[in-house]
Amino acid sequence: MRQGTARRAWLYPAVAAGGFRRYATYGTATAAGVFTNTVFGFILAYTYVALWDERPGLGGYDQAQALTFVWVSQSLLAAGALIGGGFQEEMQERIRTGDIAVDLYRPADLQMWWLAADLGRAGFQLLGRGVVPLLAGALAFQLALPADALRWLLFLVSVLLGLLVSFAVRYLLGLAAFWLMDGTGINLMAVVVTIFFSGMLLPLTVFPGGFGEFVRLLPWSAMIQVPLDVLMGEHAGAGGAVGALGFQAGWVLVLLGAGRLLQSAATRKVVVQGG
Amino acid sequence: MADALGASGAAEVAEVAGAAPGAVAGARRGGGLPFDGAIGVPIGVPIGVPIDVPKRNRAVEGLRGYGLIVAMWVRSTMTYRTSFFLSAFGNAAIQLLDFVAIWIMFSHVHALGGFTLPEIALLYGSSSISLGIADLVLGNTHRVGARIRDGSLDTMLVRPVPVLAQVAADRFALRRVGRTGQGLAVLVWAVVALDVDWTAAKVLLMPVMIVAGAAIFGAVLVAGAAFQFVAGDAAEVQNSFTYGGNTMLQYPPTVFAADLLRGVTFIVPLAFVNWLPALYVLGRPYPLELPGWVAFLSPLVAVVVFVPASLAWRAGLRSYRSTGS
């Protein structure tokens, strides 16, 4: 029993390391991704400059903060797999082909297994595709990056919580394949929702009135909007930071819990075909 | 990328099963396999003697093969009908969100870069339709990288249909009509909302702009596919020029720095997709010093960029070495 617990203690870090290494082998793809994120960063940055020239202080940001929003969110896209590229397509394919039965046989929890692999992937993407676009943006534009180490630490905690929310949502999508078989449609709809409600399209503070307040309460705002506000000190002070991180942690618990419920419903559906 | 590798297995089976009858039919009609007795080549012709296959047939067979593979993928897509409708709707919706973003911007400002919302809608709609068409017809050429890696490009080389036609039709995604339809809706709204003094030249320029724009985006897609023979899994680079270019073309050129404008005018001539013709229609000057008649050059530019793109594709295909078994 004790040995089993010990084995499990290193199992998930090992799975995460595997996820990291797996993506680290795609060197050219990573370079291509960095290039694409940088190009998109430039295009969006110019449109934001035009917008904030016209309306300084829009959404509570000055121009430097708005540009920080553009470049940091480009750095977070791949890590959060916000427009695809995560694990759920692979999971859906395993469900469709029946390979998921192998995963269920493992002496590991299905949700924790995929979570560990996805965090490993996200860790690589954060380093591989996060740093360079941000540096390019900081060189070409005046950004509002903090000089304060504590703020960066809070930002990294907030990014981690954002990654967990993103995973939890995508895990629900993955499980949906037990009922839908083909995940293409639902994945695409999920991307639509994520683009709109995460703040990737425009900072959620720019969304008008009550609608803006509503979208800031949804889990997707935990993926980009909240980490950026933490970085730029919009949630300054201990109370503000606790509130922001607590909001993210709340969604992590709710969504991971929903994943567990759906998982047990789904695994009861599995019929292993002999062969 | 991992999913592309994983998911191709099942698709492969479907494709081989679907394409084989087409390939056989093609050979019977005299298109491809020169050693097939059924097409009237004398049996006894020594191997190595060049056999005249009329040039026209290659293009016709390319289109025919393309059509057959496309039809097969459409049938296959329709197996999961709900998923198809969700995807088509999702494609239109993703596209629409860009416009919603612009619309939200205009809830705070009256003009962006000196342009009004209907003027930007003209840019937005025209670029979206052009990219939508190019993406529907040639978008899946980006999968060539995955096929090089898993070795399945080899099966395409032995079929009597030009490889480019096969690669373009590979996993044909009909759902992309969603993007085109949505772009068309915005363009129609723009034309209604705009106060343009329509002349014959301006009316004529609109369809020319759409088609030439689609061809320019198409050339970028073919060039991107060719690049993958050299660069391996760098498919995402072409997104910078297609989706990135599309995003840029949705905004007025006055928003961007002059160096960027020079780059997309003279190097990767995306400005000819819609900026130059649309600015002529709107009666506005292009921020760079260019004569007015360049607005009419889009078709010529499309031809000019397709030549190096297709040469690059041929060179890439010639350099291809199979990964082996």
Residues constituting chain A: 275
A47 touches chain B (CB under 8 A): yes
Q: Is the pLDDT of residue B90 over 90?
A: no
Give the 3-state secondary structure of A21-56. HHHHCCHHHHHHHHHHHHHHHHHHHHHHHHHHHHCC
Give tens-digit pLDDT for A89-130.
Answer: 999 999 988 888 888 888 888 999 999 999 999 999 999 999
**Please, where are the H alpha helices in B139-199?**
144-150, 153-157, 163-169, 177-193
Q: Considering only the beta carbons, identify the residue of B80, B90, B104 that sits closest to A188.
A: B90
Contact list in B for residue A207 (CB cut-off 8 A) is 104
Q: Considering only the beta carbons, identify the residue of B3, B82, B251 that sits closest to A47.
A: B251
pLDDT, chain A, mean: 91
**Could you tell me which chain B residue has the CA closest to the CA of A39?**
B240
Shortest CA distance to A82 belongs to which of A37, A128, A38? A37
CA angle, B26 then B31 then B324, to 5°: 80
Contact list in A for residue B100 (CB cut-off 8 A) is 196, 201
The residues near B125 (Cβ < 8 Å, ≥ 6 apart) are B183, B184, B185, B186, B187, B188, B189, B190
Q: Is the pLDDT of residue B96 over 90?
A: no
- pLDDT, residue B138, reads 93
Contact list in B for residue A202 (CB cut-off 8 A) is 101, 104-105
Contact list in A for residue B111 (CB cut-off 8 A) is 54
Q: How far is B231 from chain A (nearest CA, A)?
A: 7
CB contact under 8 A, A196 and B100: yes
A274: confidence class by pLDDT, cuts 50, 70, 90: low
**Could you tell me which chain A residue has the CA closest to the CA of B103?**
A207
Interatomic CA distance for residues A127 and A135, integer angstroms: 12
> Count of A–B CB contacts within 8 Å?
132
CB contact under 8 A, A189 and B90: yes
Contact list in B for residue A47 (CB cut-off 8 A) is 112, 251, 255
Q: Which residue type occupies A36?
A: T
Interatomic CA distance for residues B154 and B9, integer angstroms: 15
Residue B115, SS3? strand
Distances, alpha carbon B178 to alpha carbons A197, B27, B133, in Å:
21, 35, 10
Give tens-digit pLDDT for B20-48.
Answer: 333 323 333 333 333 333 344 444 545 55
Q: Considering only the beta carbons, identify the residue of B3, B111, B233 that sits closest to A29.
A: B233
A112 touches chain B (CB under 8 A): no
Q: Considering only the beta carbons, identify the residue of B90, B236, B255 that sits closest to A33.
A: B236
The residues near B83 (Cβ < 8 Å, ≥ 6 apart) are A180, A182, A183, A184, A185, A186
Q: Considering only the beta carbons, identify the residue of A33, A36, A180 that sits closest to B244.
A: A36
| Widest Cα–Cα separation across chain B | 78
Shortest CA distance to A154 belongs to which of A271, A29, A239, A81? A239
Give tens-digit pLDDT for A176-192.
Answer: 999 887 787 788 889 88
Q: At what angle do helices A110-140 and A2-24 cross, to 10 degrees?
A: 40
Q: How far is B286 from chain A (nearest CA, A)?
A: 17
Interatomic CA distance for residues A84 and A170, integer angstroms: 10
**Could you tell me which chain B residue has the CA closest to the CA of A181?**
B80
B3 touches chain A (CB under 8 A): yes
Q: How far is A253 from chain B (nearest CA, A)?
A: 28
Residues A119 and B31 sit within 8 Å (Cβ to Cβ): no
For the record, the structure tokens of A247 come out as 């909001």
Shortest CA distance to A248 belongs to which of A198, A192, A183? A198
Interatomic CA distance for residues B279 and B194, integer angstroms: 13
**B172: phi then psi, degrees, rounded to nearest 5:** -45, 125
Contact list in B for residue A44 (CB cut-off 8 A) is 247
CB contact under 8 A, B85 and A185: yes
B87 touches chain A (CB under 8 A): yes
For the record, the structure tokens of B34 come out as 């020169």
A214 touches chain B (CB under 8 A): no
Residues of A (166-195) whose Cβ lies below 8 Å from B: 180-186, 188-189, 191-192, 195
Give tens-digit pLDDT for A36-55.
Answer: 999 999 999 999 999 999 99
Average pLDDT (A130-156) is 95
Interatomic CA distance for residues B172 and B175, integer angstroms: 9
Residue A208, SS3? coil
A93 touches chain B (CB under 8 A): yes
Tell me the range of A87-101, B151-165, B251-265 where mean pLDDT is highest. B251-265
Give tens-digit pLDDT for B110-137.
Answer: 999 999 999 999 999 999 999 999 999 9
Distances, alpha carbon A158 to alpha carbons A87, A101, A112, A154, A252, in Å:
21, 34, 20, 6, 12
ipTM value of the model? Answer: 0.86
Q: Considering only the beta carbons, identify the residue of B1, B94, B98 that sits closest to A26.
A: B1
Interatomic CA distance for residues B216 and B220, integer angstroms: 6
